[in-house]
Amino acid sequence: MTLNPVVVEEDYTIKKCAEILAKQKLGSLIVVGKGQANKAVKKIKGIITEGDLVRKTILKDIDPKTTPVKKIMTKDVVTITPNKDIVQAIEVMNKYNIRHLPVVDDGKLVGFLTLKDILKIAPEVFDLVVERIKLREEYRKPLGKEFVHGNCEVCGKYSDFLLEVNGKLLCAECRRNLI
């Protein structure tokens, strides 16, 4: 894991965060409270990724020069503790479909782990990661299959994208949970 991850404060503008991402050649930043970026002990407020810049700023026509990052950051951040191993980290990343995982101990940020970090130190897990991505994509974008609308036979939620799996009509989330 990265022991000193790059952090930004929640009142930084989106533009400033984008500049930091570009300059540091990063895919995400940890967001902390105002005045906390240079403190030794940091509590996570959120996370912002390159994808957030596209989906939550550009597509929604938000002004990055004046809007604070706290307006678009992901607030419910999935984290992991430092006593977990690489396999457990990959399982968490797969479960939540994320590639960036802050490492937190007793509520405090102690590091940052990315899928890229894992593949650098344990390239043997590459095939496992690729296989999981393929399986997830097959359930999200099944080729040659027609979607049905109605209620999922597992969770009961309405969906316009039900597919038959093992004799039951399932929504995308329940199909993903089968993996």
Pick from 80, 128, 102, 100: nearest CA to 32: 102
**Are residues 62 and 111 located together in one domain of the fold?**
yes
27/75 Cα distance (integer angstroms): 17
Q: Where are the beta strands (DSSP E) in 7-127?
A: 7-9, 28-32, 44-49, 100-105, 108-114
What's the pLDDT at 93? 86
Type of residue found at 92: V
pLDDT at residue 160 is higher than 80: no
CA-CA-CA-CA dihedral for 142, 78, 58, 15, to nearest 10: -150
What's the pLDDT at 3? 85
Do the Cβ atoms of 36 and 44 come closer than 8 Å?
Answer: no
Q: Model pTM greater than 0.85?
A: no
What's the pLDDT at 39? 81
Q: What is the DSSP string of 87-117?
A: HHHHHHHHHHT-SEEEEEETTEEEEEEEHHH
**Are residues 110 and 156 located together in one domain of the fold?**
no
Q: For residue 145, what pLDDT band results from cuts at 50, 70 and 90?
A: low
**Are residues 94 and 168 located together in one domain of the fold?**
no
Which tokens go with 8? 């930004």
Domain extent, residue 28, equals 7-126
pLDDT at residue 139 is higher than 70: no
Residue 131 lies in a domain: no
Average pLDDT of the chain is: 84
Residue 138 lies in a domain: no
Residue 28 lies in a domain: yes
Quick one: average pLDDT of 115-138? Answer: 64
pLDDT at residue 97 is higher than 70: yes
**Are residues 98 and 155 located together in one domain of the fold?**
no
**Are residues 149 and 122 located together in one domain of the fold?**
no
Which tokens go with 11? 């009142």
**Are residues 19 and 100 located together in one domain of the fold?**
yes
For residue 145, count other CB atoms closer than 10 A to its CB: 10
Residue 133 lies in a domain: no
* Cα angle: 116, vertex 50, 89; to 5 degrees: 35
What's the pLDDT at 82? 92
Alpha-carbon distance values, 129 to 38, 79, 179 (Å): 35, 19, 12
Instruction: Write the CATH number for 74.
Output: 3.10.580.10
**Are residues 31 and 113 located together in one domain of the fold?**
yes
Do the Cβ atoms of 3 and 111 come closer than 8 Å?
Answer: yes
Residue 2 lies in a domain: no
Q: Per residue in 12-29, pLDDT tens?
A: 999 999 999 999 999 999
Q: How many structural domains does the chain have?
A: 2
Q: For residue 125, what pLDDT band results from cuts at 50, 70 and 90?
A: low
